Amino acid sequence: MAAGVAAWLPFARAAAIGWMPVANLPMPVAPTNKNKHQDELIILNVSGRRFQTWRNTLDRYPDTLLGSSEKEFFFNEETREYFFDRDPDVFRSILNFYRTGKLHYPRYECISAYDEELAFFGIIPEIISDCCYEEYKDRKRENIERLMDDLEDNKDSKLPNMTFRETVWRAFENPHTSTMALVFYYVTGFFIAISVITNVIETVPCSSMPNQRDIPCGERYTEAFFCMDTACVMIFTVEYLMRLFAAPSRYRFMRSVMSIIDVVAILPYYIGLVMTNNEDVSGAFVTLRVFRVFRIFKFSRHSQGLRILGYTLKSCASELGFLLFSLTMAIIIFATVMFYAEKGSSSSKFTSIPASFWYTIVTMTTLGYGDMVPKTIAGKVFGSICSLSGVLVIALPVPVIVSNFSRIYHQNQRADKRRAQKVQKARLSRMRISKCGSSSAFLHSKRNGLNQSLELTGSLEEDQQLKKTTSLLESQHHHLLHCLEKTTNHEFVDERLYEQGYLQTALQNFPSQSPSLSSEEGITGTCCSRRTKKNMQPLSATHTHNLQELSALHIQCGEQQPLNTSRSSLNLMSDESGSLNCKSSGLVTTAIISIPTPPSNNSRASPDAPPPPNPDAPPLPNTGTDVVKISAL
Amino acid sequence: MSSRRRRCKRQLIKFTQHIARLITGTLNSDNEDEEQESTTVRYHPENLEQLQSQTHFSRQELQLIYRGFKNDCPSGVVNEDTFKNIYALFFPLGDSSKYAQFLFNAFDKDKNGSLSFEVSIFNLIILLRGTTEEKLNWAFNLYDINKDGQITKEEMLDILKAIYDLMGKSIHPRLKEEAVRQHVRMFFQKMDINQDGVVTIDEFIDCCQKVWLVFIFN
């Protein structure tokens, strides 16, 4: 729930009264209400349709276009309104987001149009509330797949500079790319069919002489069948080895289902070759022949439908499991009942409960062979109940399986659940980043606040500039957090640096400088505090250097998530770099900020800021990144 | 005897109803909706002019506060969960639920579990525009969790822990268990004049007025 924070700010400041008596340090000065303008209505003209709202409503999300000063670019002086040349229908949902804090995705809207509007107004799609988020993600996924399908159709030409291995792999995966691959595809298919038919015919009895008993063809024409088998296995082996050679990741290929089927298909032959002489294991050898039937599964490479069937069964595992479980329960119940019902009658086939299982299964699946029939009246009654319930139990999960199959068949294979997991995680992490945004905004302004208080001779303009960039709401909120710090005599630290610092202190028992020293004197801005800060810096700078490898992970994260991409801080960056350059000494770093400071100041830069692993990273104010955060305020 | 018979009859009726439902095939959920009564509460605040005269907020301020209030609590009253959510927004780094609970109890003087708009406004008036003594009174009320007129060490420890929780984990220096107790000890050293282990309202007000730095909260 995104509260209209401006309205609740008095409550929060009231809470601060509770801290006063317990605080041991003097509280910072409250920000004065500079701009006393009352809450005003602003008019947003979106392609002719006028929307009106309070200015405070828009200020709730200062990281979006409407909430920040970016909307001033769209201000029309003559008509005193903000004009946006965009879709008014989509704008309705966007404005509702400001009003209610929830972003909804209207179902009739095109997904890419909606995405564009969100990007224009600087709102991340992850904010879409849970009621509409599923729909949004589904539509987006469909769209992406459709685009990918289109791309694949267009992708005819071979990519240049593919190695032989890559070419072979590509030929195997997409047979229609080259004629050679197509030929190989059909040849293997043909031989699979031949092999399967051979296995079948092997067992057909073909009698040579009328008085001899029928012997299967396999034993009659042993050599012919053996040659056929050898040829097929040759082809399969060659194919398997070529695939193994061409696979980009051999380990993953060997683990995949298709390759296991391949191996199982050709292994019996080789085992048979090895073990023909040994009489003891010939029995086992015979059973191994059963596995030759697995060659039929090799067809699944050739048939999309077969693959989909396999995938359906896999994805309906829970329904199948339920079916199996309920059937088992019912079988056991009815078998027991039938056994005891039929116990009395003589010459009953129901000799034991496991023997009754067969009757129960045959009855429940409405097969009714008739080899076991109840004779007593009780047995007949229970038998009829059994067959009726069998119909029900089996009929229930089947439609689910069927609908699953048709869904997958129509929409190609998708790893739905796997991707949903990843998406959910990514969504939560983006929202967490935006939450961190608000805290980092505080840390940032704290630094600037100290900056401005230490600059005793700072010019008035710079101060005003710095002050203007944070809205009144933000400054009051930051003041509140500052009071809290004073009450508890601890300072807020950036999470990542907190962990880093923890690592440091854990590994090296360095007596940590008491920050109370710096915080107490920070406000008063004496020279001593500056010196203490300077003394603090080189010590911990060596720490960071020594532990650079250990905290490399943290640094990496720090690099990838530039903290200062909020629009307000873009302005701040330019100001602060200017002001920092003016002051020769006494860089204010409260040892907690991890922004990539300009290289000229790096030597004295914030000690716990990750020493830039790539010192050649230009200190441009992050215009390249598109990370837009919504502050939770 | 008669009550037992009545109960038997009621059970029998319910059983036959159940069987009838089973046979005719009505779903359970259809019937349950009828049994549920609407439990939403609609609460209207006082007149704007009346509030304006009772409190000393300006008209615009009242409007602004009420608009935000009504936006987040359409039923017109704040309950404890909403209160906690609001504070969670202001202190995103830490866990504000305990402190919010204490605050809620301090706001909610008649203990009915929800705050109406007037109650909130009257509290705010004291906190933002009241005299120092009124503010101290309110603060004492906040600290005195069981409202017995005395602050004990345990109550203070709870309150301080809640305040420290607001900071969260990422603080510098790292929070130690002992730090909170130390803070409590310092507080009692300052406030408990007669050293009897509890702080009464008079001790509190006397002491705070001496060391209170009056600051401007507008």
- For residue A522, the distance in angstroms to the closest alpha carbon of chain B comes to 15
User: Is the CB of A1 inside 8 Å of chain B's CB atoms?
Assistant: yes
Least confident of A43-57, A202-216, A369-383, B139-153: A202-216
Question: Of B130, B165, B192, which residue sits at a domain end?
Answer: B130
Q: Does A453 score more than 70 pLDDT?
A: no
Pick the CATH number of A308-429 from 3.30.450.40, 3.30.70.260, 1.10.287.70, 2.40.170.20: 1.10.287.70
HSE at residue A181, side-chain half, CA atoms within 13 A, is: 14
Q: One-letter amino acid identity for B6?
A: R
- The residue among A5, A8, A482 with the most chain B CBs within 10 A of its CB, best to mutate, is A8
Q: Delimit the domains of chain A by residue range.
A: 41-156, 164-302, 308-429
Q: Does B204 score more than 70 pLDDT?
A: yes
Does B28 reside within a domain?
no
As a whole number, the mean pLDDT across chain A is 70
Q: Do A360 and A386 contact (CB within 8 A), yes or no?
A: yes
Cross-chain CB nearest to A39 (options B60, B69, B128) = B60
CATH number of the domain enclosing B150: 1.10.238.10
Same domain as B149, residue B80: no
pLDDT in tens, B87-145: 888 888 778 888 888 888 888 888 888 888 888 888 888 887 778 888 888 888 888 88
**B120–A477: do the CB atoms touch at under 8 Å?**
no
- For residue A14, the distance in angstroms to the closest alpha carbon of chain B comes to 6
Residues of B within 8 A of A439 (CB-CB) are 92-93
**B103–A632: do the CB atoms touch at under 8 Å?**
no
Looking at per-residue pLDDT, the higher value among A352 and A142 belongs to A352
HSE at residue B34, side-chain half, CA atoms within 13 A, is: 4
Same domain as B207, residue B138: yes
Residues of B within 8 A of A475 (CB-CB) are none
Does B217 reside within a domain?
no
Using the structure block, give the residue that is written with the tokens 């002051």.
Answer: A583
Does B35 reside within a domain?
no
HSE at residue A41, side-chain half, CA atoms within 13 A, is: 6
Same domain as B194, residue B161: yes
Structural domain count of chain B: 2
Question: Of B98, B130, B162, which residue sits at a domain end?
Answer: B130
Same domain as B91, residue B136: no
Same domain as B89, residue B110: yes
User: Is the CB of B208 inside 8 Å of chain A's CB atoms?
Assistant: yes
**Which of residues 556 through 615 in chain A touch B, CB cutoff 8 A?**
591-592
Cross-chain CB nearest to A439 (options B92, B160, B208) = B92
Is there a cis peptide before residue B173, judged by omega within 30 degrees of 0?
Answer: yes
Same domain as B53, residue B123: yes
Same domain as B110, residue B138: no
User: Is the CB of B142 inside 8 Å of chain A's CB atoms?
Assistant: yes
Structure confidence at residue A75 as a pLDDT band (50, 70, 90): confident
- For residue B193, the distance in angstroms to the closest alpha carbon of chain A comes to 15
Residues of A within 8 A of B128 (CB-CB) are 10, 13-14
- For residue A488, the distance in angstroms to the closest alpha carbon of chain B comes to 6
- For residue A30, the distance in angstroms to the closest alpha carbon of chain B comes to 7
Provide CATH code, domain A164-302: 1.20.120.350
Residues of B within 8 A of A590 (CB-CB) are none
- For residue B80, the distance in angstroms to the closest alpha carbon of chain A comes to 14
Same domain as B136, residue B122: no
Residues 6+ apart with CB under 8 A from A30: A476, A479, B215, B216, B217, B218
HSE at residue A310, side-chain half, CA atoms within 13 A, is: 12
Rg (CA), chain A: 37
**ipTM of the complex, rounded to two decimals:** 0.72
pLDDT in tens, A85-108: 889 999 999 999 998 888 999 889
Residue A578 burial (10 A CB sphere; 0-12, 13-18, 19+): exposed
* Domain covering A41-156 assigned CATH 3.30.710.10 in the classification: yes
Same domain as B152, residue B119: no
Q: Does A578 score more than 80 pLDDT?
A: no
- For residue A493, the distance in angstroms to the closest alpha carbon of chain B comes to 5
pLDDT in tens, A6-23: 667 777 877 777 777 777
Q: Does B44 score more than 70 pLDDT?
A: yes
Does B33 reside within a domain?
no
Helix (H) or strand (E) holding B72: helix B59-72
Same domain as B200, residue B141: yes
Residues of A within 8 A of B217 (CB-CB) are 13, 16-17, 30
Same domain as B155, residue B80: no
pLDDT recorded at residue B42: 67
- The residue among A9, A11, A489 with the most chain B CBs within 10 A of its CB, best to mutate, is A11
**Which of residues 267 through 286 in chain A touch B, CB cutoff 8 A?**
none
Same domain as B74, residue B52: yes
- Structural domain including B183 reads 132-212
**A492–B93: do the CB atoms touch at under 8 Å?**
yes
User: Is the CB of B69 inside 8 Å of chain A's CB atoms?
Assistant: yes
Q: Using CA atoms, how far apart are residues B203 and B209, in angstroms rounded to an integer? A: 10
**A4–B68: do the CB atoms touch at under 8 Å?**
yes
Question: Of B81, B99, B130, which residue sits at a domain end?
Answer: B130
User: Is the CB of A4 inside 8 Å of chain B's CB atoms?
Assistant: yes
- The residue among A479, A488, A489, A536 with the most chain B CBs within 10 A of its CB, best to mutate, is A488
**B65–A480: do the CB atoms touch at under 8 Å?**
no
Residue B86 burial (10 A CB sphere; 0-12, 13-18, 19+): buried
